[in-house]
Amino acid sequence: MTRHHPLVLGIDSSTQATKAALVEADTGRVRATGRAPHEVTGTGGARESDPATWVRALCAAVGSALADLAAHGTDPAAVTAVAVAGQQHGLVALDEAGRPLRPALLWNDTRSAPQAASLLADLGGEEAWRARTGSAPVAAFTATKWRWLRENDPDAAAACTAVRLPHDFLTERLCGRAFTDPGEASGTGWYSTALGAYDDELLALIGLDRARLPRLAPTGASRAGPLTTAAARALGGLTPGIPVAVGTGDNMAAALGLGLGRTGLLHHPVLSLGTSGTVFAATETRSTARGVSGFASADGAYLPLACTLNCTLAIDRIAALLGLHRDDALPGGETVLLPYLDGERTPDVPGASGILSGLRHSTTPQQILGAAYEGASVSLLRALDSVLGAAGADPAAPDVARLPIRLIGGGARGSAWVETVRRLSGRPVIVPASGEVVARGAAALAVAAATGADPVTVALGWQDTGATELPALDRDAAAWERVGGFLDRATPLL
C-alpha cells in the first residue's frame, strides 16, 4: 500500500449517529467516511443513550472509513492525528472504574426543566448567571441534569466519581486522559466565561466536586494525549501514539470547519438544521445577551448561539402524519404551525406542545407541512438576529444584512428547508459542499494537535470549491409577520 498525503481523523458523535472522516491534512480533501447509528431511548421528556453504544459506533464508523481507505490502496498508517467533536451538554456519570453508572442524559432531555428554574433562582436570577457564565441555565445544560440526577437517582449520583460530556468521554477512551475545552465546558453551567475557568461557587451551588471533572485545556486543539495501543487496535489498525486532540462540542467544531474564529470569519451567521436547529456566529466579544447562550469557541474566541429543540425530526414527523414527502411542502397560506413536539428551548417553553392555527376548507396538506417549515424557520431566524446582536453586529446594518447564511446539517440537503430559509430570511444562502462540517472541524483540530497550527487557519486553507451559493430573495413579509405575530401571542400561554 502507498501512504499518499498525511491524513487526520475527524469524528462527529452526534445525537443520532457517529460520523468519521479521513481528511488529507494539507488539502482538506475527504478521502473516506464511515457512519454508525446510535440508539436514543425515552418517552415524554426523557432522552437517554448508553455511552457504550457511542464507543461501538465510533469503532464501527472509523473501521468502515479505514476499510474504504485500504480498498483504495492507502495504509492506515497515513493517519497522523485524531479529534472528536460531540453533541453538547449530555451528562455521563462514571464509577471509580470509569464505567457508566447509567444511560447518559442527552441535551434534549427536558426532565430537568424544574431544576433549571431552581438553579436560576438560587443564584439570584438570569442576570447573575449571565454575568458569570454568559448564559442562563435551561434544561439542556449539564448543571441542571446533575441536579436532576441528585434528586431523582441519588444512588447513581453518590456512586459517581467522574462527570463527563459525550466528547470528553470518547476522547478519554482514545487516550486514557480526561480533558475538555472551553467551548464544550461553556455549555455546562459551571464554567465561567468571565473567568475562563471552572467557577467554584457555581460548582458548590450545583453540588459538584471539581475533582470529578476533566482537566480544562486552553483550546480544543490542545493535545489530550497519545492514542493508546488498545484504542488503536479497536479502531482498526491506527498507529499507537499519534496525537489525540482535546476536541470540542459539535457546534464549536462546525464553526471551525467553516473557518469561523478569531483568525477567520467573524459575525458570519451559520444556521444548522439537524435534530436541533442552531444559529451561531464567531466573535472576539464575550456575550451576556438575553435569549442567547454566550458560549466560548474552540479556538479561544466566543460563539454566541441559540438552539431550538424542534427541527428536522419534528418536520419529518409532521410530513409522516400527513402522508407526504418532506419536500412536498408549499407556503402555508393562512396556516400557522409551531412544531414544538418536544417542548422548546428557544423560546424557553420546555413543556410546550405543537400548535396548529388558521385552518380553512381550502387548506391543503402541503400547506400544513409548509407551515411547519415556516414555524421552525421563523423561530430560528428570529434567534439569528439575537445572535448577531450578541456578537457585536447590528442585524439591520446594510453590511450585516447582506452577510450570507451558511446552511449546514441534514436539512441543508433538502430543497424545502433551503427555499424556506431563503424566502423568510431575505439573505443569500451558502450550502457547503461537504455535508460533514462537524467532522471537518474535528479534523482541523487534529491537524492543529499534530502540527501546532491554528485550526481556523487550517480550515480556511481547505478550499470548499463545490459550495452552492444562492442569491437573496425578497423576504416574504406576510409569512414573517403572520408566524412571528402568532409566536409572540402564543409563547406566554405555552
Give catalytic residue positions.
250
The dihedrals phi and psi of 44, each to the nearest 5 degrees, come to 60, -130
What cell numbers appear for 434 in the block? 461537504
Distance, in Å, from the CA atom of 84 to the CA atom of 10, rounded to the nearest integer, reads 6
Phi-psi region of 47 (alpha: psi -120 to 50; beta: other; left: phi over 0): beta
CA gyration radius for the chain?
Answer: 22
Residue 451 burial (C-beta neighbours within 10 Å; 0-12, 13-18, 19+): middle
Q: Which amino acid is at 361?
A: H
User: What is the C-alpha separation between 268 and 429, in angstroms, rounded?
Assistant: 11
Q: Are 143 and 62 in contact, with CB atoms under 8 Å apart?
A: no
* CA 318 – CA 158 distance, rounded (Å): 42
All cell numbers assigned to 450: 499534530
Residue 147 CB neighbours (<10 A) = 24
d(CA 249, CA 292): 17
CA dihedral of residues 266, 269, 272, 276 (deg, nearest 10) = 100
Q: Number of C-alpha atoms within 13 angstroms, CB side, residue 355?
A: 18
**Terminal-residue alpha carbon distance, the chain:** 61
